[in-house]
């Protein structure tokens, strides 16, 4: 135990189990040992420990990490309050009481804050990389589907024809936004809390610049109180995970719809579907469902930490120990979901011709027809009304834009002529789009090229 002088009784066993964070902060072992090594180096540099002590501590810490990695450290989870206690205890075993010098001028408060920032920095880099990999998968798939016409939906009603490529590029943009969100967090963790002590710094002349630089930070933090009670970067991390999961949940929903018998737009690989224990014919998009479902836990984690931090007086309160599990879980859940989605899309089969005929016999080009009327000088609102009536005429007479005659169109409004029929051809519909950002294949190809350039630039 790292304290005890003033206590008569030991912590109750139930209480130790209730309060120990070792089962999850063991995740931070590499960061914690690195921080201790740098801290001891600094203690040596400013003369608080000798070179021999410094060398002993380094050796001891290296050995602990090595034993841990080799699964040789028989760590008893129920005996320690946290990773810091466990390591100090083990270090004492290895090098004797000199281990007790390691904690000079530091508190678990600034130590764990430093550990967490290092850990977050590491996983941010992993996430950003995986997002790029995923974008590449989507762009590759898009490249193959620039001419694959599918209905674009609003309200899950068929709205206007788009290409599957265009649809995929919307997700590539979302992933880019996710990347930026995670990158912003990197700039939030540029200052090193180590040396802030419990809340008020130290009477020792700790060289905070040294430890900050050595640990890869830009500079030390400027207010010790804030240093130990700031969890903003974790909240921003949880928020970025939530928004990232929200994006994945939207795609997951679409994958589920597209895989249904009703849509039948894609077929997922056997490797990424499962069967039923009862119904022999089933092939279920479980992984997409799980991705959608796990959104709940990632939102829950974010809310959990927000709730925990509400109304806490400064500076450190033990409540804050509850910051770790939600963060670890959101990372794991988001990262693995992203990877699974990436792999699902890498192996998906698209039925490119699925919608072509069906869309020809539908009303998705109603807007284009209204636009045609506008060109003829009719105010858009009136044009909208005219085409609306035409659609109603078709429905009442079981017709579609695929088999309506010019005569019938003229019975609704005389202005229609042959050229109006041209804008009812689904196959050329994308080409008729003129605006920047539209699914016009020329523009989509340009977007794809731009993305590829960007990936190479990195």
Q: Measuring CA to CA, which residue among 123, 331, 345 is closest to residue 245?
A: 331
- Using CB under 8 A, which of the segments 31-39, 65-73, 113-121, 251-259 binds a second copy? 251-259
Instruction: State which residue, 66 or 170, has the beta carbon closest to a second copy.
Output: 170
Q: Does 107 bind a second copy (CB under 8 A)?
A: yes
With CB under 8 A, what is the number of residues at the site for a second copy?
A: 196
Q: Does 414 bind a second copy (CB under 8 A)?
A: no
Site for a second copy in 182-201 (CB under 8 A): 184, 188, 195-201
Among 68, 300, 376, 415, indicate the residue that binds a second copy (CB under 8 A): 300
Q: Measuring CA to CA, which residue among 151, 173, 149, 251 is closest to residue 448?
A: 173
Q: Taking CB under 8 A as the rule, which mask of x and - marks residues 108-127 in contact with a second copy?
A: xx------------------
- Using CB under 8 A, which of the segments 29-37, 69-77, 121-129, 285-293 binds a second copy? 285-293
Q: Does 322 bind a second copy (CB under 8 A)?
A: yes
Spot the catalytic one: 276, 405, 411, 419: 276
Closest approach of Cβ 17 to a second copy, in Å? 8
Q: Does 390 bind a second copy (CB under 8 A)?
A: yes
Q: Does 230 bind a second copy (CB under 8 A)?
A: yes
Q: Does 104 bind a second copy (CB under 8 A)?
A: yes
Among 86, 124, 287, 348, indicate the residue that binds a second copy (CB under 8 A): 287
Instruction: State which residue, 67 or 362, has the beta carbon closest to a second copy.
Output: 362
User: 284 near 274, Cβ under 8 Å?
Assistant: yes
| 155 is known as an active-site residue | yes
| 276 is known as an active-site residue | yes
Rounded Cα distance, 40 and 51, in Å:
10
- Using CB under 8 A, which of the segments 33-41, 63-71, 231-239, 413-421 binds a second copy? 231-239
Which residues touch 51 (CB under 8 Å, ≥6 apart)? 44
Instruction: State which residue, 66 or 450, has the beta carbon closest to a second copy.
Output: 450
The count of C-alpha atoms lying within 13 angstroms of the C-alpha of 285, restricted to the half-sphere facing its C-beta, is 24
Q: Measuring CA to CA, which residue among 87, 137, 147, 78 is closest to residue 112?
A: 87
DSSP 228-278: HH--HHHHHHHHHHHHHHHHHHHHHHHHHHHHSTTT--EE--GGG-B--SS
- Using CB under 8 A, which of the segments 23-31, 69-77, 122-130, 298-306 binds a second copy? 298-306
Rounded Cα distance, 398 and 412, in Å:
16
Which residues touch 338 (CB under 8 Å, ≥6 apart)? 127, 130, 131, 134, 244, 248
Q: Taking CB under 8 A as the rule, which mask of x and - marks residues 61-90 in contact with a second copy?
A: --------------------x--xx--x--
- Composition of the chain by helix, strand, coil, percent to 5: 65, 5, 30
User: 248 near 341, Cβ under 8 Å?
Assistant: yes
Site for a second copy in 141-180 (CB under 8 A): 151-162, 166-167, 169-170, 173-174, 177, 180
Q: Does 440 bind a second copy (CB under 8 A)?
A: yes
User: 373 near 417, Cβ under 8 Å?
Assistant: no
Q: Does 216 bind a second copy (CB under 8 A)?
A: no
Which residues touch 256 (CB under 8 Å, ≥6 apart)? 285, 288, 289, 292
Q: Does 223 bind a second copy (CB under 8 A)?
A: yes
Separation of first and last alpha carbons in the chain: 48
DSSP 85-109: HHHHHHHHHHHGGGGGGTTTT--HH
Which two tokens mark 168? 């995929």
- Using CB under 8 A, which of the segments 29-37, 58-66, 375-383, 403-411 binds a second copy? 375-383
Q: Does 45 bind a second copy (CB under 8 A)?
A: no
What is the β-pairing status of strands 266-267 and 219-220?
unpaired
Token pair 């005429």 in the structure block, residue: 393
Among 120, 124, 220, 331, indicate the residue that binds a second copy (CB under 8 A): 220
Among 59, 69, 218, 282, indicate the residue that binds a second copy (CB under 8 A): 282
- The CA angle 18-20-26, to the nearest 5 degrees, is 140
Q: Does 439 bind a second copy (CB under 8 A)?
A: yes
Among 23, 78, 126, 307, indicate the residue that binds a second copy (CB under 8 A): 307
Among 94, 186, 290, 350, indicate the residue that binds a second copy (CB under 8 A): 290
Would you please indicate which residues are annotated as catalytic (active-site) residues?
155, 276
């Amino acid at each position: 135990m790292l304290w005890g002088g003033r206590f008569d009784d030991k912590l109750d066993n139930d209480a130790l189990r209730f309060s120990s964070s070792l089962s999850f902060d063991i995740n931070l072992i590499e960061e914690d040992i690195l921080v201790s090594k740098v801290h001891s180096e600094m203690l040596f540099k400013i003369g608080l420990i000798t070179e021999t002590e410094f060398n002993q501590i380094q050796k001891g810490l290296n050995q602990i990490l090595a034993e841990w990695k080799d699964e040789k450290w028989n760590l008893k989870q129920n005996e320690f309050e946290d990773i810091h206690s466990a390591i100090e205890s083990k270090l004492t075993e290895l090098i004797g009481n000199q281990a007790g010098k390691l904690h000079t001028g530091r508190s678990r408060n600034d130590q764990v804050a430093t550990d967490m920032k290092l850990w977050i920095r590491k996983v941010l880099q992993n996430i950003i990389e995986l997002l790029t990999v995923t974008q590449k998968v989507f762009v590759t798939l898009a490249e193959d589907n620039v001419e694959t016409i599918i209905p674009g939906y609003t309200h899950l009603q068929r709205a206007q024809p788009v290409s599957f490529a265009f649809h995929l590029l919307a997700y590539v943009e979302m992933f880019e936004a996710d990347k930026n969100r995670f990158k912003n967090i990197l700039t939030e963790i540029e200052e090193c809390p180590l040396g802030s002590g419990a809340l008020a710094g130290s009477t020792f002349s700790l060289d905070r610049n040294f430890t900050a630089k050595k640990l890869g930070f830009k500079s030390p933090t400027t207010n010790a109180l804030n240093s130990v009670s700031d969890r903003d970067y974790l909240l921003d991390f949880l928020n970025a995970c939530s928004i990232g999961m929200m994006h994945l949940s939207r795609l997951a929903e679409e994958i589920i719809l597209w895989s249904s018998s009703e849509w039948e737009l894609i077929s997922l690989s056997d490797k990424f579907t499962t069967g039923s224990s009862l119904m022999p014919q089933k092939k279920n998009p479980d992984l997409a469902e799980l991705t959608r479902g796990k959104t709940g836990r990632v939102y829950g984690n974010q809310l959990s930490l927000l709730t925990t931090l509400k109304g806490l007086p400064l500076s450190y309160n033990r409540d804050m120990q509850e910051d770790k599990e939600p963060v670890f879980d959101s990372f794991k859940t988001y990262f693995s979901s992203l990877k699974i989605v990436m792999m699902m899309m890498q192996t998906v089969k698209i039925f490119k011709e699925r919608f072509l005929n069906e869309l020809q016999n539908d009303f998705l080009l109603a807007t284009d027809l209204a636009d045609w009327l506008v060109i003829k000088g009719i105010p858009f609102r009136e044009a909208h009304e005219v085409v609306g009536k035409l659609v109603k005429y078709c429905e009442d007479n079981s017709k579609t834009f695929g088999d309506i005659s010019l005569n019938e169109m003229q019975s609704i409004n005389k202005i229609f002529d042959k050229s109006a029929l041209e804008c009812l051809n689904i196959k050329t519909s994308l080409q008729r789009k003129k605006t920047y950002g539209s699914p016009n294949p020329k523009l989509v190809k340009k977007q794809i090229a731009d993305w590829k350039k960007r990936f190479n630039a990195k």
